[in-house]
Amino acid sequence: MNASAFVIRAPATPEEIAAYRDLRWRVLRAPWGRPRGSELDGLEDGAIHRVAVERAAGRVIGAGRAHFNTPAEAQVRGMAVEEAWRGRGVGAALLRDLEAAARAAGAVRMILSARDAAAPFYARHGYAVERPGELLFGSIPHVWMGRVLA
């Protein structure tokens, strides 16, 4: 599937914001019994939010956000892609857009805490493992990864 099948943008309507949050919850929290709202944190308001929207149907198929830890360091969080769209460039397009937005806002470095299963995806996009991460929900191993933004 080529990138013309979807568009990456900031959530533009209340419905897109709701779909964005729902996707993050369904993919990243619900399978582990976490309640709605657990996909949100205190950094939402100041973060860079992006959705991938399917052009044909206008529905949200991917989500991601970045926030700043320092003026020079941004962190990717909440990356989620609908299962049927995985492997089709949605995650890569979201990541590139988040990196570009963070770079434009002054970031020179991007970090993230990747689930072990997602680490190869981030490695393909220039991220290197920097240290072990936490065990989320007692069962999901993570690693901290980072890269310099060119």
Instruction: Note if the pTM is more than 0.95.
Output: no
Q: Span 2-21, mean pLDDT?
A: 91
pLDDT, one tens digit per residue, over 90-143 is 999 999 999 999 999 999 999 999 988 889 999 999 999 998 777 666 667 788
Which pLDDT band holds residue 70 (cuts at 50, 70, 90)?
Answer: very high
> Domains in the chain: how many in total?
1
Q: Dump the DSSP string for 81-118.
A: E-GGGTTTTHHHHHHHHHHHHHHHTT-SEEEEEEEGGG
CA gap 71, 108 in Å, rounded: 9
Residues 147/109, Cβ–Cβ less than 8 Å: yes
pLDDT value for 115: 81
Structure tokens at 115: 């689930």
CA gap 51, 49 in Å, rounded: 7
Domain carrying residue 75: 3-148
CATH number at residue 27: 3.40.630.30
